A and B are shown apart, each in its own frame.
Chain A
């Protein structure tokens, strides 16, 4: 059963070929067997999953099942889950049992999805390799010596290794798309505001966005349909209807105009990755799309601007972790200042500390204009580049990541080199646009992802564009040999 997509599992459940309980047991057995090699899970909730699976089966008997009822999924450990540890990959929250469900969790529960557990991630979603987690790195199922990408590395590895058919992730600078690319799965970062951030532990609030990770675009469409929607509890939630993403998948691609930004195919892009991406674009031309070269002239400014905006917002958001109401508290504090500084110093790892310090500096007296304001102005330039491009094209395509998965340990001591892994994904967050990564082949036996970028709220178009490619090719069906 594990080789089936969510759409196929949903059909199997509806036809009575298997029960959710059988399905859930099958995936839990795979988790038990394979997770020790991968470290994709922080917490496995086997008993709760089986109880939920039985409830899903009863719901189906009552004739009240939807497409996700009884389908096992996993949640990134950044989403609050009532009664279940929600660690965010950090010592700070190692013993934090969330007192409520995130909106995304609540919505997927309501749809009847069955949570198998919580997946590993970079600490507070800060990282591109899943190596900053308190719980140790996740291994890439295609080669255990390689990183899975980050920060949603556990979700990506779990889906790629067929330990779960679908997962949630979050993406602040590429954290859904880059691990999806490095693990050979499909992942979508929706438009900012499309999916509620309520109960999703905040990193950089003007950039954070939750989204689905699965094997196919069709599966992402099913998951997004359940996750998206207006939430009055998130003050930046978009108040607009959610289309039926699956209804729009099968239209032909004829006449679709795909823009290829010349800045995404230049220096820094690995040659073998470039070749695979070019082949994918050639496939799109065969499918009836037209491609044109475009320019996003401010692309090179995205990483510098991001490393002001994200740390600034992070330093502000993470100020809430003070050792008083929840989270890690140091032993025997001698006064309140000692309580704050030692609880935080012990609770946060090095990458989180670096970003808090950079952000604190950028926001400190006298530096605001030179850093935060300047970065926000550049953010506008980057956003304007995209808007100009979308007057000319329907979708923008390019590589998701400049390289395939790199070795565990290779970049962990060099933050700047690590930051460059997100060179093609970060601008999309700054502009707040939707972006999708889909698997389009292999370089050096490791998966390569193609990134599709759409205009605001064009998730349907991205899913459709990816789905048509997946109807014509089978890269998204390839499984890593050790987990087939």
Chain B
């Protein structure tokens, strides 16, 4: 599978990742090469093989639905790019 510049731009949009126009062709080449490597999977017959999501086939533990975390808002917001009155600031979402 080979990807062209338009497809790379579309994937970058899905990933919410800005890529400079001049870098798109190089990413298209790299990604196509990676997908070519990945295509070696097709040589394997996997009909009827159960997919393995977790190395130990463990199921995720559940914990009681109870509050376990203390309020550390100030501590955590100390590293935020922009906060005001305990809120995270972002550009206006609704005009």
Interface residues of A (CB under 8 A from B): 96-97, 99, 191-193, 206, 232, 235-236, 238, 298, 300-301, 303-305, 307-308, 315, 319, 322-327, 329, 333-342, 344-346, 348, 350, 353-354, 356-358, 360-362, 364, 371, 373-381, 383, 415-416, 419, 430-433, 456
Contacts and interface: CB of A to CB of B under 8 A. Distances in A.
A323 B27 CA distance: 23
B66 interface: no
A236 B81 contact: no
A96 to B, nearest CB: 6
A433 to B, nearest CB: 8
A97 B88 contact: no
B85 interface: no
Given A339-B91, A361-B31, A381-B46, A432 B51 contact: no
Interface residues of B, number: 53
Contact of B50 (A97, A377, A433): A377
B49 interface: yes
Nearest to A238: B56
A339 B18 contact: no
A324 B91 CA distance: 10
Residue with the highest number of chain A CB atoms closer than 10 Å, among B23, B34, B82: B34
Interface string B76-94: 1011111000001011110
B15 A357 contact: yes
A129 B30 CA distance: 18
Nearest to A337: B16
Given A304-B38, A354-B27, A415-B30, 7 more contacts: A99-B72, A99-B75, A304-B37, A308-B38, A325-B80, A419-B37, A431-B55
Contacts of B61: 232, 235
A342 B61 CA distance: 37
Contact of B40 (A97, A301, A324, A354): A301
Contact of A206 (B33, B49, B55): B55
A326 B49 contact: no
A335 B56 CA distance: 44
B17 to A, nearest CB: 5
Interface in B22-75: 23, 27, 30-31, 33-35, 37-44, 46, 49-56, 58, 60-61, 63, 72, 75
A357 B82 contact: no
B33 A415 contact: yes
A356 B46 contact: no
20 contacts: A238-B56, A301-B44, A304-B41, A329-B81, A335-B91, A335-B92, A336-B91, A344-B18, A353-B19, A353-B27, A357-B8, A361-B31, A364-B14, A374-B41, A378-B41, A378-B46, A379-B51, A380-B51, A415-B33, A416-B33
